[in-house]
Structure formats: structure tokens, C-alpha cells
Chains A and B, each alone.
Chain A
């Protein structure tokens, strides 16, 4: 079946602009995660959605970052007033909601802030 998909694959933006990154999880996966991978910080957790529960936003680095998940499926990560330090690969993952279920990752969106 189809894996996790993300769009766009690459995004170049100017400092101060807003960007939206999209994630389509695997069908039937109720848990969805956003991570960020950068050279200096490695792989960092950003936010986690599970069903209709309130999301775990504990990893969001600032209030410029937000995410939503509509209809329990597609998710959008929004970064407002982008800064150069936001440049990274943004990874989305999904999983079934069972203890210890492996997360399946998308190909990522490479964000470059000029």
C-alpha cells in the first residue's frame, strides 16, 4: 500500500515568509508525528497527534510553529515568519495506535530559508 507522503519535497523561502508543509499518513494510521532533522540538532520531535485527543506540542521550538490535522488524516505544519535557523528537513511519520508500534516515515520536506 501507499506509504507516508509529504509535499512539497523542497521549499525555498525568504526570511520572514510563512510556509505550510503537508503530510498524508498511511491510511488507517491514527497516530501522526512531525520531526525535524538538521545538522546541528539531529532528529527532533515537534508534535504528535493521536485521534481526537489534544496534540502533544511539547517539541515545538517556538510559537511560530503550529500544526493541525484535519479529519484525522492529513496534517499541515505551518511555520510563520520563517528564520534561517528553521532550515531543515521536516519529517512526518505515522503509526497504528498500539504500544510500541513502529513509525513509518515520509520522504521529508527540505526547507531552505534564505
Chain B
């Protein structure tokens, strides 16, 4: 069965620090997608990135970067020079295409607090 683990429950950093959020997944499917979502205090889940299982290229978008490593089943998310507005709960999620299970399996989330 599919599973997503975010071992870090809560992280607190000071503004301008870099921070990495860890995500480890389990799946028997060979075709799958990984996602990161942000849930700010307002509550609405905001899509950040999608990565498919055949593309291990790292991606950078502004201060955000993602490191996908199939060998360790990890899809980690790094925020560079964190800002107070980055404070939120971040969820890693998995969907499996081979089984047709397109619903997302979420990790338990990591709460990031960026102090000014």
C-alpha cells in the first residue's frame, strides 16, 4: 500500500535561514506522481509542485527547490532564505497511476514557523 512519511512535525527557523522539509514515500507502482502543497493559516491548500516517477531532475522555482531521489524514495523540499510568509503547514502527497488510484495520499504535514 502507498504511504507518505513526513517525519518532521514542526520546524522553527529565523528569517533568512534555509530549511529543508523531508518526505519519504512508499509505493509498489512504477508510475506515480509526487506533490507538495502549502496550507497557510487561512486554511486553503495551495499546489506547489508535481513530479512524476520518471523525472528525477531537481527543480528550482525562485527560493523553492525540490530534490527527488528514487534510490531513497525521497522528495525533499528546500526553502532558501526563508521569510515570515513561508510560515505554513507543508504536505507531501503521492498519487499512483498504475493502479488508477488518482486520489492523493498525504503525509502528516510539517508545520514551518519562520520567526522575524
Residues in A lying within 8 Å of B, measured CB to CB: 31, 33, 35, 42-43, 45, 48, 50, 56, 59, 89, 91, 93, 95, 99-100, 102-108
Contacts and interface: CB of A to CB of B under 8 A. Distances in A.
Interface residues of B, number: 23
Contact of B109 (A33, A42, A99, A104): A42
Interface of B: 31, 33, 35, 37, 43-47, 50, 52, 91, 95, 97, 101-109
Given A50-B102, A95-B102, A100-B97, 9 more contacts: A42-B107, A42-B108, A43-B106, A43-B109, A59-B103, A100-B52, A105-B44, A105-B46, A105-B47
A107 B50 contact: no
Given A43-B106, A102-B35, A108 B44 contact: yes
Contacts of B33: 99-100
Contacts of B35: 102
A89 B45 CA distance: 12
Contacts of A89: 43
